[in-house]
Amino acid sequence: MKRYEARLSGLGGQGVILAGIILAEAAGIHEGRQVVQTQSYGPESRGSACKCDVIIGDEPVKYPGVYRLNLLVALSQDACDKYARDLVPDGLLIYDPLYVKNLPERPLRACAVKATETAEGLGRKIAANMVALGAVAALAGLVSADSLARAVAARSPRGTAEGNLAAFRAGLAAARELRSAIS
């Protein structure tokens, strides 16, 4: 793959930036791929619409911006409305159906992953971002589940690794089911 562009988006506080950093570390450190990660800055990252872009390549990634988005993870309606149009025709949209009710009209591959509900079920609503990462591992074919799990464990603040990994695995399992249902 020459260049793969992923965007994780939602509202400030949903942990999309941390999720993006973990995705970048999984690809860049655990798989030795070329990676550039950028993110929303300032008040945006703390409350309103928030995004984190991860560009992965086999060659050095020069232009750090998004121009042919391959993957969008949307954890809010606003984020979905704003960014789905950047997806390439065969791009993948992973969204949380709790928040995203209206999908873009144009045809694209869209997968509903109950990130927040699953995380709540595990007693850690805050880990919805990890559930979403699990879904990325299962559906995007971008980085291996193993690399992502290692990156999750390495980035989790002390005492949260187990909970985060549980959420990650739940997302992975749910999305794998979804994948087999699709195919």
Closer to another protein at the Cβ: 15 or 100?
15
Closer to another protein at the Cβ: 25 or 96?
25
The Cα–Cα gap between 36 and 84 comes to 21
Residue 19 · residue 8 · CB < 8 Å: yes
Residue 89 lies near another protein (rule: CB under 8 A): no
Closer to another protein at the Cβ: 47 or 123?
47
Residue 67 lies near another protein (rule: CB under 8 A): yes
Say which amino acid occupies 150. R
- Which residues lie closer than 8 Å to 169 by C-beta, 6 or more apart? 134, 149
- Which of 14, 37, 118, 164 binds another protein (CB under 8 A)? It is 37
**Total of chain residues touching another protein, rule CB under 8 A:** 18
End-to-end CA distance of the chain: 23
Residue 174 lies near another protein (rule: CB under 8 A): no
Residue 157 lies near another protein (rule: CB under 8 A): no
Per-residue contact track with another protein, 43 to 62, x per CB under 8 A?
A: -------------------x
Closer to another protein at the Cβ: 61 or 178?
61
Residue 50 · residue 11 · CB < 8 Å: yes
Matching residue, tokens 């997302």: 171
Query: Packing angle between helix 145-155 and helix 128-139, nearest 10 degrees?
Result: 160
Residues of this chain that interact with another protein (CB under 8 A) are 21, 24-25, 28-29, 34-39, 41-42, 62-65, 67
